[in-house]
Structure 1
């Protein structure tokens, strides 16, 4: 019996198991024509999960529900699966980050997002608490990823799959880099397709059905209040967000070098870096579309405390996040004793340093 996953094709909780299956070489069939609210209410489904929650995995030994448990099962089908690390401590760290992702990230996103979609009661104070808790979790994750490409070890593990399916953010540069590194992996792309982040926070929707039968019974007020609605509409127009200005770099002619391909090669090359990544870079490099720049910190004599120097570089990289679509950079803190020397190498779209980088 093949493993059968009961869920919709766009269910983010099902993505964990499907991506794990791609990495593990395990065949998992997604049921056809699954309809949320209908398929998960049938007697057959309720026997597999009495709560009716999705997803559920059918196995030869019986059903499994809860997305993390399903992903773990799929991963364990293959003996010695690298998705679970290569040592006991790596296994423990993988489980640690899976729990962190569920309890600190996914749970707080639900507390923030669901009320805005009308699925839970909206309470501003509760929303503030959820956002604060989510930012605290992402800040911790951001700190960990400052020196790591993946959560555990040097390749994708189940903790990366679980975490990536749970969050979205652009405020934390290392989390942002980590997110795009993973969703652009072939096995992620096969399941997720093209990923686009939401650019705005959804407006609050009422969780109650609107009862407006009385509105048509106010024709007498139409003449008196003809002007105020126009003023109100004008105010709304004034408050509407202005469209984003086009970045000048988007107007440059197309080129052969695809920056994301280089970033993926850089992130995924773990051995023989000079032969694979460096040679790959020069093969991709288009001097007509990109330029390379060395950078030196002007005040290296002030770098007398290691963690302060590290914070300076971290702050600089965070500000440079606005250029992630158009640039790639590597910063180094050189020296074992103060004063520490800060240097870097940057690849920018165009033949000059972009003006918005200079302004920054």
Structure 2
């Protein structure tokens, strides 16, 4: 009986055993036409792994589940396999790095990734903790690789195979070049290994993520079933008599003509003398004499009847103990505010020379209130305290000026960074 892995073609956990098989000259095949959510729910599969997870390896002596166990089994099929090193201490170090790859790398990458694709609830503090823990782990790995080509010894071992497969998800889905550049030895290590012939045969061409996926809401358990039912209804064959349908008449259910997309309430407001795009261009194009040109231009354009200004303060500044996590938090907020780009301008300041860092913002919104669709759709809004600016108060007006121009020091403290939404 040949060795067969039950998993999808893109399952990074099955890659561990497949790459080990290439190094050992062992034949291991992926089962054809495996469909996640279907194939792993059959009685035959459940008999091999009672909890229905992949991958599972079928062997002549029975099934094996858990990807690291499968990889170890395949690695041991060749007597004196170099994948386990050449001494007892090598073997101990290989096992050490396998555990590290699973507990410190893979676990934190998954905690970061799963909520972003809708497979878990998105909780900012949880993501921040996972990213911080991942950075800590990558820092330790980077230090080790500064003086080592491979994790153990002078050639590829099972530790390298498992570490690389666990890093794969991070490099291809989450960790952009700006993220990994802090760990140059990890970068060198990863790209060296994925381009080794035995790796490349299984992984193919690997490309680094260009951006972090936006957060998606976790799907309700029955949503896919409902959608499937709707699709089946839509696919029902039309009767011959329906080939020449009369024009749709309002009130005929599914034949009703599609309704026009409702206008955004902000588009229905009376015209404003302030043209937002003109202000954004002035802000972007002013390189010198910012106070005299951009700030003066802002107040000349500002329409207090058509627009409103708002200060915001992050509610949980005591949690901002890691600079890059705080900056990523603000960057994510601005990314999710993209839905309001037509109606808003914003400045976000990260303040302080040491943690905990303060996050404060200034926002210009169309209308007299914060737009309801922004409050409803951008969950970050509830993480901030919002206060409407009273432009008759000269102190508040000066604070607006300082936030627009990134004045430093701001309220007596250094600026770590300033980000603009325009």
Tell me: CA distance 1:221–1:22, structure 2 relative to 1, closer, same or farther (3 Å). closer
1:194 and 1:177 map into 2 onto residues whose CA distance is 16
Structure 1: unaligned runs, 5 residues or longer: 212-217, 240-360
Tell me: CA distance 1:103–1:236, structure 2 relative to 1, closer, same or farther (3 Å). farther
3-state SS of 2:166 partner:
coil
3-state SS of 1:202 partner:
coil
1:237 and 1:194 map into 2 onto residues whose CA distance is 41
Aligned to 2:323: none
2:264 and 2:54 map into 1 onto residues whose CA distance is 52
3-state SS of 1:113 partner:
helix
Aligned to 2:27: 27
1:239-258, Cα deviation, whole Å (9 max, x unpaired):
9xxxxxxxxxxxxxxxxxxx
| Mapped pair 1:4 → 2:4 | yes
2:156 and 2:217 map into 1 onto residues whose CA distance is 40
3-state SS of 2:58 partner:
strand
Tell me: CA distance 1:236–1:206, structure 2 relative to 1, closer, same or farther (3 Å). farther
| Mapped pair 1:138 → 2:138 | yes
Aligned to 1:56: 56
Displacement after TM superposition at 1:29 (Å): 1.3
2:261 and 2:103 map into 1 onto residues whose CA distance is 54
Aligned to 2:358: none
Aligned to 1:191: 202
Aligned to 1:226: 267
1:237 and 1:71 map into 2 onto residues whose CA distance is 54
1:91 and 1:233 map into 2 onto residues whose CA distance is 53
Displacement after TM superposition at 1:197 (Å): 1.1
What is the 5 A alignment of 1:70-219?
Answer: 70-167=70-167, 168=171, 169=175, 170-171=180-181, 172-209=183-220
Displacement after TM superposition at 1:193 (Å): 0.4
1:23-80, Cα deviation, whole Å (9 max, x unpaired):
0000101100000000000000000000000000001111000000000000001110
Aligned residues: 234
Specify the structure having the higher radius of gyration (Cα).
2
2:209 and 2:18 map into 1 onto residues whose CA distance is 23
What is the 5 A alignment of 1:281-320?
Answer: none
Tell me: CA distance 1:37–1:88, structure 2 relative to 1, closer, same or farther (3 Å). same
Aligned to 1:13: 13
Tell me: CA distance 1:22–1:223, structure 2 relative to 1, closer, same or farther (3 Å). closer
Tell me: CA distance 1:173–1:32, structure 2 relative to 1, closer, same or farther (3 Å). same
Displacement after TM superposition at 1:115 (Å): 0.8
2:94 and 2:343 map into 1 onto residues whose CA distance is 49
Native 8 Å contact 2:58 2:64 kept in 1: yes
Task: Give the TM-score of the pair, scaled to structure 2.
Answer: 0.52
**Which of 341, 345, 350 pairs up with 1:235?**
341
Q: CA RMSD in A?
A: 2.8
Aligned to 1:45: 45
Structure 2: unaligned runs, 5 residues or longer: 227-258, 270-274, 277-337, 346-422
Aligned to 1:274: none
2:264 and 2:66 map into 1 onto residues whose CA distance is 57
Task: Give the TM-score of the pair, scaled to structure 1.
Answer: 0.61
